[in-house]
Structure formats: structure tokens, C-alpha cells
């Protein structure tokens, strides 16, 4: 039996100035008030309390409210603190389903999606498994031993678990310049900051503002020239060297910017990759952001990267 104790850090309200360094192909994300979109689908109880069946289609627009309702319903049944991250990692097909809502993956299937929030991610009849004590213990141990590693000049984000590399994703990083941003009302160094820290907040319902002029927007122009609504994908707030400086890990709607110093300081990833990072990074997950110009393999230098911030002596 697992002792039911909280393992996540408490969530703290984030004020506007935390986001001054962020860019989402222009955007700034600010968490909006927690208002429900539509109605939450019903859950059919299963006598064993080990499974439940979704009785109505769940769309991305109501996905998080639905998951919260599941967690609330079953948390009193299990002998540990049930969370969304535990539930989803016990049903990993959900992560792949969410990743497949990526605009560019859908376009590769000749399917144009204007409003990603209308896509069904949990079809009626889906069966989800509640983790038992042993499964929950293993997942919690995995979370504790997970680390996000970001190397700025390499434009890479890696996910390690017990020192084993699970994923490597291309990213974009902050520009090498200073710029006046309306949010913060000051000239800001846009370079991504290095250091050691952790994940401290998830923003599941982001609003989008241009950090330069402060104007809110709702649509985005894609790399293929088409316009869509902004997708609902969680943004992840980081704390580096005990400072919350507004550096977020978030999806970009323009993957052509990956592999470039393009943002206002944040770490941008592809839409599909952003879902994976989110579910491997519950609150408290360890994070390192580094600036290493040499990459190694078996102890040998295999490449020397371009010094994009001119930090080399």
C-alpha cells in the first residue's frame, strides 16, 4: 500500500510579468480563469473500481475538465493520491492520441483542422484503467527519476529516466538580442537563461498575447500559409536557479522555427512533442538548461556547435 501523500508542488498564481520573455511564433501565454467549456461527459462506474468507460465523446476543449472529474471521483477509492499524470501514464495510448492531433500530422493525412479543440480524443466507449498500488508506485518512481535536459546551442530537449534517454526533441530558443516588450514595460534580454531547476506550473488553458505590443490574438498563421485557431496544449512554467523568470516550455505552431534562436526567451517544441513533454513532466520534475558547445559520444567529442550567444572565450 502506498501512503497517500502529495508529491506535487502547490500551484501558485502567475502574474503577467512572468511571461515577458515568451514567444509563440509571436505569442505570450497567460493563464485564464478556470472556466469550463461545455459539459463534462459522464463516467460509467465499473464495480471493480479498476476501470471506467467513457459514455460520451470527449473533445480537447473539455478534456482537462473531464480528466479532473475522473481524478476527483476515483481519488477516494485508491490508497494513494491519484493525479492526471498518473492516470494518463497508466493509459499511454492517450498520449499518442493527443500527439496525433498535431496540425502537421493531420495535414500529412490530408485532414485540415481549423479548431483543434473540437477534435475527439477520448471516443465514446473508451476504457481507461485506474492504476493499482504497484503500478502507481512504479509511475511515481519514474516521475522522481525523470529529468528534462535542454542544450541551447544544440537546439535539443531530452527526456531522461534513470539516466536512460527516452526522447530527443528539436526546439527553438531565445534570440540573441535585447528588445522592448510591452509586458514588463522594459527592454529585455531575450536569450534563454541557463541553470538547474524544476517544473513549477502547468497552464492548461492558455490565452495568447503578443509580448511586444500586448495585443491578444486567437488565430495563428501556419507554415503552409493556412490560418487556424490557436491549439489548446499545456504550457509548462520553469523555475531556474530558484527564480521564475518567465521561461516556458510550450508548443509552437510554426515548426520551421525549430532549430533556431527565434523566441523571446522560451523553449519552443512541436505540438506533438509538447504533449509528450507535458505528460513526462509533472510538477517537481527536475530540469537542467545548459549551454554546451561540445557534444560527446562514449567520452569523445563528436561535434562542436555554433556559439549562438557568443559566450565562448
Enumerate the domain spans of the chain: 16-304
Residue whose C-alpha cell reads 517544473 in the numeric block: 199
Distances (CA, A) of 2 to 134, 145, 204: 8, 18, 28
Distances (CA, A) of 233 to 4, 53, 273, 303: 29, 24, 10, 34
Whether the per-residue pLDDT at 81 is higher than 90: the answer is yes
Q: What is the mean pLDDT of residues 253-275?
A: 97
248: Cβ contacts below 8 Å, ≥ 6 apart: 19, 22, 29, 203, 235, 236, 237, 238, 266, 267
> Is the distance from CB of 166 to CB of 173 less than 8 angstroms?
no
**pLDDT range class, residue 49, cuts 50, 70, 90:** low
Distances (CA, A) of 71 to 11, 27, 144, 166, 306: 17, 31, 20, 27, 46
Dihedral (CA of 207, 213, 219, 220) sign:
negative
Q: What is the mean pLDDT of residues 38-64?
A: 72
Whether the per-residue pLDDT at 5 is higher than 60: the answer is no
Kindly list the strands in the beta sheet with 43-45, ordered across the sheet, starting from the edge strand earlier in the chain.
43-45, 51-54, 127-129
Mean pLDDT score across all residues of the chain: 87
3-state secondary structure of 242: coil
Instruction: Tell me the percentage of the chain whose pLDDT exceeds 70.
Output: 84
Whether the per-residue pLDDT at 39 is higher than 60: the answer is no
Q: What is the mean pLDDT of residues 227-255?
A: 97
How, if at all, do strands 248-251 and 267-269 pair?
Answer: parallel
3-state secondary structure of 231: coil
Whether the per-residue pLDDT at 55 is higher than 50: the answer is yes
Could you report the per-residue pLDDT of 111-122, keeping only the tens digit for each? 999 999 999 999
Q: What is the mean pLDDT of residues 125-137?
A: 96
pTM attached to this predicted model: 0.85
**pLDDT range class, residue 24, cuts 50, 70, 90:** very low
Could you report the per-residue pLDDT of 135-155, keeping only the tens digit for each? 999 999 999 999 999 999 999
Residue 149, CB-side half-sphere exposure with 13 Å CA sphere: 16
Distances (CA, A) of 304 to 19, 296, 297: 32, 9, 12
CATH topology of domain 16-304: L,D-transpeptidase catalytic domain-like (2.40.440)
Q: Which residue has the higher pLDDT, 309 or 43?
A: 309
Rg for the chain (alpha carbons), in Å?
A: 20
Task: Say what the pLDDT of residue 184 is.
Answer: 77
Q: Which residue has the higher pLDDT, 266 or 33?
A: 266
Number of residues in the chain: 313
* Calpha distance 81→88 (Å, rounded): 14
Q: What is the mean pLDDT of residues 287-294?
A: 97
Amino acid at each position: 500500500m502506498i501512503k497517500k501523500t502529495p508529491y506535487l508542488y502547490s500551484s501558485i498564481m502567475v502574474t503577467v510579468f512572468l511571461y515577458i520573455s515568451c514567444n509563440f511564433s509571436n505569442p505570450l501565454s497567460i493563464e485564464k480563469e478556470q472556466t469550463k467549456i461545455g459539459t463534462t461527459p459522464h463516467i460509467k462506474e465499473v464495480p471493480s473500481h479498476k476501470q471506467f468507460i467513457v459514455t460520451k465523446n470527449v473533445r480537447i476543449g473539455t478534456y482537462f475538465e473531464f480528466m479532473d472529474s475522473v481524478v476527483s471521483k476515483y481519488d477516494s477509492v485508491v490508497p494513494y493520491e491519484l493525479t492526471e499524470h498518473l492516470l494518463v501514464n497508466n493509459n499511454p495510448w492517450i498520449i499518442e492520441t493527443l500527439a496525433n492531433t498535431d496540425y502537421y500530422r493531420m495535414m500529412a493525412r490530408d485532414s485540415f483542422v481549423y479548431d483543434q479543440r473540437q477534435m475527439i480524443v477520448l471516443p465514446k466507449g473508451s476504457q481507461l484503467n485506474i492504476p493499482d498500488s504497484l503500478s502507481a508506485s512504479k509511475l511515481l518512481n519514474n516521475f522522481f527519476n525523470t529529468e528534462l535536459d535542454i542544450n541551447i546551442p544544440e537546439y535539443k530537449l531530452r527526456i531522461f529516466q534513470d539516466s536512460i534517454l527516452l526522447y530527443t526533441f528539436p526546439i527553438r530558443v531565445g534570440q540573441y538580442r535585447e528588445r522592448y516588450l510591452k509586458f514588463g514595460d522594459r527592454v529585455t534580454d531575450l536569450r534563454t537563461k541557463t541553470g538547474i531547476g524544476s517544473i513549477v506550473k502547468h497552464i492548461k488553458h492558455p490565452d495568447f498575447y503578443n509580448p511586444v505590443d500586448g495585443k491578444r490574438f486567437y488565430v495563428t498563421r501556419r507554415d503552409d500559409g493556412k490560418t487556424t485557431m490557436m491549439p489548446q496544449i499545456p504550457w509548462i512554467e520553469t523555475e531556474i536557479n530558484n527564480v521564475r523568470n518567465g521561461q516556458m516550455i510550450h508548443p509552437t505552431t510554426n515548426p520551421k522555427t525549430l532549430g533556431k534562436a527565434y523566441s523571446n526567451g522560451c523553449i519552443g517544441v512541436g505540438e506533438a512533442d509538447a504533449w509528450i513533454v507535458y505528460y513526462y513532466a509533472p510538477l517537481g520534475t527536475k530540469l537542467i538548461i545548459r549551454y554546451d558547445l561540445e557534444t560527446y559520444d562514449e567520452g569523445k567529442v563528436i561535434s562542436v556547435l555554433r556559439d549562438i550567444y557568443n559566450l565562448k572565450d
